[in-house]
Amino acid sequence: AQSVAQPEDQVNVAEGNPLTVKCTYSVSGNPYLFWYVQYPNRGLQFLLKYITGDNLVKGSYGFEAEFNKSQTSFHLKKPSALVSDSALYFCAVRDSSGGSYIPTFGRGTSLIVHP
Amino acid sequence: NAGVTQTPKFQVLKTGQSMTLQCAQDMNHEYMSWYRQDPGMGLRLIHYSVGAGITDQGEVPNGYNVSRSTTEDFPLRLLSAAPSQTSVYFCASSYSPESNQPQHFGDGTRLSIL
């Protein structure tokens, strides 16, 4: 079975400071990993994904994520946070090795960027 | 480019009423799914479909029905609404179940059951 954990319900950061939103996962085979962002009253929007290759993945709006196989983590990062980054962030995983192709989502982390 | 379109955006029902939440996508995606989002619970999968004529149950299917007569449409039916079904419902689609492509989400239907 596959699973995703987002250990922080909320992350607070000051504008201009770096931000990290944590995600750890568990799959039987190799993972496909995704980050999505949800703004108020909107659906989830895709930010970035890890399929294979470089462990550092760059995505939309200046976000990046680092895949760490030994720690089974895929933390979302941004060097300098903006107030407009305040939103709900979801990590998702799917096992690329067959079996269930249904992605599993984490419970979400609310990012609050203070001016 | 409409993407995934959900209607209605808001709905209030009385307990016991039935209704259909509509979902349509114009990207020729094979895989479509319905989620509900509740505070502190994240996204929970209700039903999904890997193509026209094929549907299956997700994590929380009770009280909901789906059908997939066309590639574009994937309606979700509440058979007899209950207050526990008060939630925000999202429809999502992706190219194919085996692909590594992300899902595209609609903007949701906010449903209140009185």
Amino acid at B104: H
- HSE (side-chain half, CA atoms, 13 Å) at B25: 27
Determine the distance in angstroms separating the CA of B9 from the nearest CA of chain A, rounded to an integer. Answer: 10
Q: How far is CA A70 from CA A24, A25, A92, B39, in A?
A: 11, 11, 18, 32
Give the DSSP per-residue string, B58-104: -SS-TTEEE--SSSSB--EEESS--GGG-EEEEEEEES-TTS-PPPE
- HSE (side-chain half, CA atoms, 13 Å) at A47: 27
pLDDT at residue A98 in the model: 66
pLDDT at residue B1 in the model: 65
pLDDT at residue A77 in the model: 98
Contacts of B90 in chain A (CB under 8 A): 43-44
Segment among A71-80, A98-107, B8-17 with least mean pLDDT: A98-107
Please say if the pLDDT value at position B75 is more than 90: yes
Contacts of A101 in chain B (CB under 8 A): 31, 97-98
Determine the distance in angstroms separating the CA of B29 from the nearest CA of chain A, rounded to an integer. Answer: 15
pLDDT at residue B86 in the model: 97
Helices (H) and strands (E) in chain A, counts: 0, 12
Contacts of A105 in chain B (CB under 8 A): 42-43
At A52-67, the pLDDT tens digits run 889 999 999 999 999 9
Average the pLDDT over B96-108 and give the result. 88
Determine the distance in angstroms separating the CA of A110 from the nearest CA of chain B, rounded to an integer. Answer: 11
Sole residue written with tokens 């066309």? B70
Whole-number percent of chain B with pLDDT over 90: 88
| Interface test with chain B among A42, A44, A45, by most B beta carbons within 10 Å | A44
At B15-67, the pLDDT tens digits run 999 999 999 999 999 999 999 999 888 899 999 999 999 999 999 999 999 99
At A3-54, the pLDDT tens digits run 999 999 999 999 999 999 999 999 988 899 999 999 999 999 999 999 988 9
CB burial class (10 A; 0-12, 13-18, 19+) of residue B52? middle
| CA–CA separation, A51 and B100 (whole Å) | 7
Sole residue written with tokens 């979902």? B23
pLDDT at residue B100 in the model: 84
Closest CA to B58 of B66, B46, B68, B50: B46
Residues B60 and B20: beta-carbon distance below 8 Å: no
| Interface test with chain A among B43, B47, B90, B105, by most A beta carbons within 10 Å | B43
Please say if the pLDDT value at position A99 is more than 70: no
Which structure tokens are listed for B42?
């994240």
